[in-house]
Amino acid sequence: MPHTLSDIFNGCIGYTYDDIILLPGYIGFSSKDVDLTSPLTKNIRLKVPLVSSPMDTVTESKMAIQMALQGGIGIVHCNCSIDQQVDEIKKVKRFNNGFIYNPIVLSPSDTIADIHKAYNQYHYSSFPITEDGKVGSKLIGIIDQSSIDFINDTTLPLSNIMVISFATANHTVKLHIANDILKRNPQQSLLPIVNDNHELHAILCRKDLRNIRTYPLASKNWKTKQLLVGAAISTHQDARERATRLVKGGVDVIVVDSAQGCSFYQLEVIQWLKHKFPDIDVIGGNVVTQKQAQYLIDAGVDGLRVGMGIGSICTTQSVCGVGRAQGTAVYRVAQLASAYGIPVIADGGITSIGHIVKALAIGASTVMMGSMFAGTDEAPGNYILKNGARLKKYRGMGSLEAFKASESAMARYLPSLSKSPPHSSDVQIAQGVSGYVASKGSLQDYMPYLRKGLQIGLQDIGVQCCQDLKHLTDTGEVCFELRSMAAMREGDVHHLHMNDI
């Protein structure tokens, strides 16, 4: 007999994704018409409900850029210095823009060597040139990488080779009109925006126009047109300084990162963040019970991260004997959070598209993943070949290896009354392991695959958007069944020789 969610999850047994199966519904639409838009926080919506985890083998700037371009968002880890984390955020923010008000500017006395240096540091290939190399100074030229491709003398001053005849726009111009001007001047890689005295005010880049066409689902700040990016902070001594620097760097959402998020330390950090930066959304966690969630909601969170000890590299449940089955955790927390309009992020335990569909059906608004993204080209680290397989390092932030990399990892698992970070000399209880995951290629191919799989999953259920999925599960129109072990085996690949012939 089909069950509703309350039938399954309000008992004393904890269930996870593999324990349940969704029953199909009526299909009256194409899978391409399924809308996956869903809230990450109270104020941020994603067109693809996928989030990359703040782990040092998962999310840095390359991952965050591609996640945002594909409609999701990346949360940059904090297992590094403040300077390093802020630099990763700035790389994301510089990648895609509307008007760029703080461009990299060169002077006529700079040389080709300076262009190479700027390109290597910022990955820009075109630059405005002003009298003194600063914004607000008189614009006298522009230059791009193609102008110097065949010049061997790197000491040559830019005054000898810069372009001095080019289109500009006045600083009062609207963005869509500036875009049209740039389209009408295909020889220019950038459009300088100047004031009435021809002093540089901002620039507009052609690359950003191409990105609009290539990535229509991109997650952007609607004011700046820059890509959305999040960052993690701990609850320890450097949390306030780190958060302040991250906000100045342009971060859109801050995740207070703790394995057990219902603590005095986290509540204090959340309250401080909401008082100090009321326009920045804050995600709290991790939690798995309604009681935990209530504390964080009362503190002012804009989103809740749910999951404890269920990641493929996490050992919290076996080491500490504490945690909860992820399906039950997501459902129970979402039941409370929805009454306050707080979105829930299902974090961990995801190994397939089917798990993502189930997480969304149970009550999650978005799904955070580590291992699913760790093997991609955009994840930090290099590939290795082992027994003919192409692999990439993946480690839990509670592993001894992560502890050795930075005290920030220990801070996630070892809170202290002094709020100072634990030291490497302290007794260390690992709650994670290190290993390798198989290569998944680039996110440019992998994210569209995940997105299409989600659309087909919702189509099979008979719902056309994530909002309908939540409504129909709440009303009992979308039904579930519990699965026996035999049913689980039957629903996977079986009775087949998988070796290539």
Summarised one tens digit per residue, pLDDT across range 388-406 is 888 887 766 665 566 665 6
Comparison of pLDDT for 259 and 170, the residue scoring more: 170
pLDDT tens for 273-287 read: 999 999 999 999 899
- What pLDDT is recorded for position 47? 98
Which residues are catalytically annotated? 314, 412
Look up residue 228 and give its DSSP letter.
Answer: P
- When pLDDT is averaged across residues 470-485 and rounded to a whole number, the result is 91
pLDDT tens for 159-197 read: 888 988 999 999 999 988 999 999 999 889 899 999 999
Q: How far is CA 219 from CA 54, 69, 76, 166, in A?
A: 18, 6, 15, 32
273 vs 300: CA distance, rounded Å: 9
- What pLDDT is recorded for position 45? 98
Least confident of 51-55, 220-224, 469-473: 220-224
Residue 413 has pLDDT above 70, yes or no: no
Residue 119 has pLDDT above 60, yes or no: yes
- When pLDDT is averaged across residues 18-29 and rounded to a whole number, the result is 94
pLDDT tens for 350-382 read: 999 999 999 999 999 999 999 899 989 999 888
- What pLDDT is recorded for position 99? 86
- When pLDDT is averaged across residues 326-338 and rounded to a whole number, the result is 96
- What pLDDT is recorded for position 24? 94
pTM of the model: 0.84
425 vs 416: CA distance, rounded Å: 15
- What pLDDT is recorded for position 399? 57
Instruction: Give the relative orientation of helices 264-276 and 239-249 as an angle to the nearest 10 degrees.
Output: 40
Facing residues of 127 across strands?
143
386 vs 341: CA distance, rounded Å: 47
- When pLDDT is averaged across residues 270-275 and rounded to a whole number, the result is 97
Are the beta carbons of 308 and 322 closer than 8 angstroms?
Answer: yes
Cis peptide before 286 (omega within 30 of 0): yes
Least confident of 153-157, 221-225, 412-416: 412-416
Residue 489 has pLDDT above 90, yes or no: no
Are the beta carbons of 333 and 289 closer than 8 angstroms?
Answer: yes
Three-class SS string for 120-166?
A: HHHCCCEEEEECCCCCCCEEEEEEEHHHHCCCCCCCCEHHHCCECCC
- What pLDDT is recorded for position 398? 64
Are the beta carbons of 261 and 297 closer than 8 angstroms?
Answer: no
Residue 420 has pLDDT above 90, yes or no: no
Are the beta carbons of 243 and 233 closer than 8 angstroms?
Answer: yes
Residue 1 has pLDDT above 80, yes or no: no
Comparison of pLDDT for 41 and 499, the residue scoring more: 41
Three-class SS string for 416-468?
A: CCCCCCCCCCCCCCCCECEEEEECCECHHHHHHHHHHHHHHHHHHHCCCEHHH
- What pLDDT is recorded for position 261? 86
Least confident of 128-132, 163-167, 265-269, 318-322: 318-322
Tokens of 439: 């290569």
- When pLDDT is averaged across residues 335-360 and rounded to a whole number, the result is 96
Comparison of pLDDT for 218 and 117, the residue scoring more: 218
CB neighbour class for 7 (10 Å; exposed up to 12, middle 13-18, buried from 19): middle
Residue 417 has pLDDT above 50, yes or no: no
Least confident of 141-145, 425-429, 493-497: 425-429
- When pLDDT is averaged across residues 102-110 and rounded to a whole number, the result is 90
* One-letter amino acid of 74: G
- What pLDDT is recorded for position 75? 98
- What pLDDT is recorded for position 260? 86
Tokens of 154: 């790197």
Comparison of pLDDT for 307 and 322, the residue scoring more: 307
* Residue 221 φ/ψ region, left for φ over 0, alpha for ψ in the -120 to 50 degree band, beta for the rest: beta
> Average pLDDT, whole number, for the chain?
88
* One-letter amino acid of 136: G
Instruction: Tell me the CATH class for 112-214.
Output: alpha beta
Nearest to 166 by CA among 146, 145, 189, 135: 189
Residue 72 has pLDDT above 50, yes or no: yes
- What pLDDT is recorded for position 86? 97
- When pLDDT is averaged across residues 27-52 and rounded to a whole number, the result is 97
In CATH, 5-95+220-490 is 1.20.1440.130: no
391 vs 412: CA distance, rounded Å: 27
Residue 328 has pLDDT above 90, yes or no: yes
Maximum distance among all Cα pairs of the chain, rounded to whole angstroms: 80
Are the beta carbons of 139 and 195 closer than 8 angstroms?
Answer: no
Q: How far is CA 444 from CA 62, 353, 363, 440, in A?
A: 12, 17, 28, 11
- Counting every residue written for the chain, the total comes to 501
Phi, then psi, of 20 in degrees rounded to 5: -125, 160
For the chain, domain boundaries: 5-95+220-490, 112-214
- What pLDDT is recorded for position 95? 86
